[in-house]
């Protein structure tokens, strides 16, 4: 990888063109050249695609011919090149595969799509099947990179941590996926200085700028530091013996990655102890046995690394609750929104501002409460530049529930106020109707009281009389909570 100049040498070898890719993952470059070649009516068997250090195909080994000439330039009125959305989506990934024939395959398919725009729909077609295989294998490799990169703190010369804390991770991808996944790590570890070192090139982030450098070796990456302890206790806490399937685990987490993962050394022991632990769990009638992190700081660290459900890959970061550690009142919303995701704090966007108004109006001081959400990541769909909120599904709420329980165990509130149906589901473990549940506190298993009301964003969506009516109910619910807090404090 590295900042290689886009040296494009297009030659005709006899009747063939040779296109030299500047880097093995440059899909945009391939697309531009492929479009021009198709517009000039150059059939697939007259083009060789060569990546740096590679041969592309047998014909390309002949080397540039003395009759070298530039790629043909299409006429200004050449017909546009047709490619289905599905092809483009798969091709973007397939281009990152390590198969040296991938660019030729993609060009052949693009060529075929010009005369048969529905060619991608034929599932039995060998080209379609191969492109799907490449796409799948690249997606899998990216998933492994997201899941198995482990940062270790880089020590200075005397063994002390470097000023400014720099973290580095070693990873061995199967395909050319490193640059394509840089933005994932940039979003997830936005405020850290980090490097991901790989045998095919490295990426470095300093909190502002992404840099690239050439290949590294395993020995360039640090090994062993306090971050490992955090990973180990996190991994031990999420390891669920009742769900252990060794075969599936090995296929999901091949041994190749184990050496980079501090928690991997615990796997044999965890597997060995799994049966006994499972029996213990069943005996204790527990659905899941996890050791909860005891302090809010430990919960925050663990949540930041949680990948228990797909939403974890959606937003910028996990948004932890905030507020007084021993607060008598815990306020639980649904999930962070756009503003919360950007700022990393709960209820700071429009719904948060409305909530603040009603808290003030009913005499509840937000600074005395602990404010959090049922789900810790922002779930959305991108529409143009806007990120549109998507409600979490029941299974996502249930997966994230464990974190809310960890926060409750650390804060020990006496009153919990659920804003909306998602929060109520998380706290009660079942779906309830707000209109039926509001106004009557329910006892939670730790002895705290649960009060349920509407979500402030529901009020924001209403207008006129409907909004006035719901706002009055909301205010009444908050007033009741305030009275109860006064009673409990007396």
In which order are the strands placed within the sheet that holds 202-205?
A: 152-153, 166-170, 193-197, 202-205, 210-213
Nearer CB in complex with ligand URA: 205/347: 347
Of 198, 206, 192, residue with least CA distance to 180: 198
To ligand URA, the closest distance from the beta carbon of 182 in angstroms equals 28
For residue 53, with 0-12 CB atoms within 10 Å meaning exposed, 13-18 middle and 19 or more buried, which class applies? exposed
335 counts as binding ligand URA under rule CB under 6 A: yes
Nearer CB in complex with ligand URA: 201/392: 392
Strand partners, 266: none
321 counts as binding ligand URA under rule CB under 6 A: no
Q: Which stretch binds ligand URA (CB under 6 A): 15-23, 200-208, 348-356, 427-435?
A: 348-356
To ligand URA, the closest distance from the beta carbon of 38 in angstroms equals 48
Structure-token pair, residue 172: 């061995």
341 counts as binding ligand URA under rule CB under 6 A: no
To ligand URA, the closest distance from the beta carbon of 389 in angstroms equals 8
Among residues 241, 315, 321, 346, the one that binds ligand URA under rule CB under 6 A: 346
373 counts as binding ligand URA under rule CB under 6 A: yes
Nearer CB in complex with ligand URA: 335/470: 335
Q: Which stretch binds ligand URA (CB under 6 A): 91-99, 268-276, 340-348, 460-468?
A: 340-348
To ligand URA, the closest distance from the beta carbon of 340 in angstroms equals 4
352 counts as binding ligand URA under rule CB under 6 A: yes
Q: Which stretch binds ligand URA (CB under 6 A): 33-41, 95-103, 167-175, 328-336?
A: 328-336
User: What kind and span of H or E run contains 279?
Assistant: helix 267-284
Q: Which stretch binds ligand URA (CB under 6 A): 56-64, 132-140, 331-339, 432-440?
A: 331-339
For residue 158, with 0-12 CB atoms within 10 Å meaning exposed, 13-18 middle and 19 or more buried, which class applies? exposed
To ligand URA, the closest distance from the beta carbon of 298 in angstroms equals 21
Do 472 and 480 meet the contact criterion of CB atoms below 8 Å apart? Answer: no
To ligand URA, the closest distance from the beta carbon of 397 in angstroms equals 12
Nearer CB in complex with ligand URA: 111/347: 347
Structure-token pair, residue 398: 């249930």
To ligand URA, the closest distance from the beta carbon of 176 in angstroms equals 38
Among residues 30, 87, 347, 403, the one that binds ligand URA under rule CB under 6 A: 347
To ligand URA, the closest distance from the beta carbon of 267 in angstroms equals 36
To ligand URA, the closest distance from the beta carbon of 170 in angstroms equals 36
What whole-number distance in Å separates Cα of residue 168 and Cα of residue 164?
A: 13
Nearer CB in complex with ligand URA: 148/474: 474
Angle between helices 126-148 and 102-115 (to 10 degrees): 130
Residue whose tokens read 């993952």 = 25
336 counts as binding ligand URA under rule CB under 6 A: yes
Write the interaction track for ligand URA spanning residues 419-458; mark x where CB under 6 A is met and - where it is not. --------------------------------------x-
250: helix, strand or coil: helix
Contacts from 59-68 at CB under 8 Å and sequence distance 24+? Answer: 59/13, 59/16, 59/18, 60/13, 60/18, 62/13, 64/9, 64/11, 64/13, 64/18, 65/11, 65/12, 65/13, 65/14, 67/11, 67/12, 68/9, 68/11, 68/12
What whole-number distance in Å separates Cα of residue 271 and Cα of residue 249?
A: 11
396 counts as binding ligand URA under rule CB under 6 A: no
Write the interaction track for ligand URA spanning residues 456-475; mark x where CB under 6 A is met and - where it is not. -x------------------
Q: Which residues contact 284 (CB under 8 A, 6 or more apart)?
A: none
Nearer CB in complex with ligand URA: 108/467: 467
Residue nearest to ligand URA (CB): 333
To ligand URA, the closest distance from the beta carbon of 82 in angstroms equals 43
Structure-token pair, residue 438: 């509001």
Of 306, 339, 304, residue with least CA distance to 320: 304
Look at strands 210-213 and 202-205 and give their pairing: antiparallel
Among residues 333, 392, 413, 441, the one that binds ligand URA under rule CB under 6 A: 333
To ligand URA, the closest distance from the beta carbon of 437 in angstroms equals 17
Contacts from 284-290 at CB under 8 Å and sequence distance 24+? Answer: 287/242, 288/240, 288/242, 288/402, 289/240, 289/241, 290/237, 290/238, 290/240, 290/402
Do 52 and 21 meet the contact criterion of CB atoms below 8 Å apart? Answer: yes
Q: Residues in contact with ligand URA, total (CB under 6 A)?
A: 13
Among residues 51, 340, 341, 407, the one that binds ligand URA under rule CB under 6 A: 340
What whole-number distance in Å separates Cα of residue 27 and Cα of residue 321?
A: 41
Q: Which stretch binds ligand URA (CB under 6 A): 266-274, 327-335, 395-403, 433-441?
A: 327-335
Of 126, 116, 171, 130, residue with least CA distance to 147: 171
The residue ranges that bind ligand URA (CB under 6 A) are 333-337, 340, 346-347, 349, 351-352, 373, 457
């Amino acid at each position: 990888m590295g900042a290689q100049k886009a040296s494009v040498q297009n030659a005709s070898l006899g009747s063939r063109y040779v296109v030299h890719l500047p880097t093995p993952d440059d899909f945009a470059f391939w697309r531009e050249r492929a479009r021009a070649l198709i517009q000039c009516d150059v059939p697939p068997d007259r083009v060789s695609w060569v990546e740096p250090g590679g041969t592309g195909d047998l014909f390309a080994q002949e080397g540039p011919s003395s009759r070298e000439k530039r790629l043909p330039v299409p006429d200004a009125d050449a017909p546009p090149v047709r490619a289905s959305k599905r092809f483009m989506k798969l091709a973007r990934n397939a281009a990152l595969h390590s198969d040296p024939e991938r660019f030729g395959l993609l060009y052949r398919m693009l060529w075929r799509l010009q005369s048969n725009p529905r060619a991608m729909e034929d599932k039995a077609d060998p080209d379609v099947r191969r492109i799907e295989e490449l796409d799948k294998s690249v997606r899998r490799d990216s998933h492994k990179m997201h899941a198995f990169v482990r940062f270790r703190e880089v020590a200075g010369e005397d063994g002390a941590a470097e000023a400014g804390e720099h973290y580095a991770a070693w990873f061995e991808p199967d395909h050319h996926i490193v640059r394509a996944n840089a933005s994932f790590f940039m979003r997830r570890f936005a405020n850290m200085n980090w490097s991901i070192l790989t045998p095919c090139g490295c990426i470095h982030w300093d909190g502002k700028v992404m840099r690239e450098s050439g290949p590294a070796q395993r020995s360039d990456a640090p090994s062993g530091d306090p971050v490992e302890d955090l990973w180990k206790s996190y991994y031990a806490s999420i390891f669920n013996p009742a769900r252990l399937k060794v075969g599936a685990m090995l296929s999901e987490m091949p041994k190749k990655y184990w050496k980079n993962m501090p928690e991997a050394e615990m796997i044999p022991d965890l597997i060995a102890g799994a049966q006994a632990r499972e029996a213990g769990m069943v005996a204790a009638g527990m659905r899941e046995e996890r050791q909860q992190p005891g302090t809010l700081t430990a919960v925050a660290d663990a949540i930041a690394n949680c990948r228990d459900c797909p939403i974890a890959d959606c937003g910028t970061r996990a948004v932890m609750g905030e507020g007084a550690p021993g607060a008598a009142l815990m306020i639980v919303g649904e999930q962070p929104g756009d503003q919360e995701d950007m700022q990393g704090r709960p209820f700071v966007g429009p719904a948060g501002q409305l909530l603040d108004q009603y808290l003030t109006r009913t005499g509840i001081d937000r600074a005395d409460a602990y404010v959090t959400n049922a789900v810790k990541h922002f779930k959305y769909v991108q529409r143009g530049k806007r990120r549109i909120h998507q409600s979490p599904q029941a299974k996502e709420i249930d997966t994230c529930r464990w974190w809310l329980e960890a926060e409750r165990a650390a804060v020990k509130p006496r009153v919990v106020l659920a804003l909306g149906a998602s929060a109520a589901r998380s706290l009660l473990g079942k779906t309830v109707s707000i209109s039926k549940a509001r106004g009557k506190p329910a006892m939670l298993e730790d002895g705290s009281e649960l009060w349920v009301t509407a979500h402030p964003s529901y009020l924001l969506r209403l207008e006129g009389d409907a909004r006035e009516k719901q706002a009055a109910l909301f205010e009444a619910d908050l007033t009741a909570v305030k009275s109860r807090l006064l009673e409990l404090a007396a």
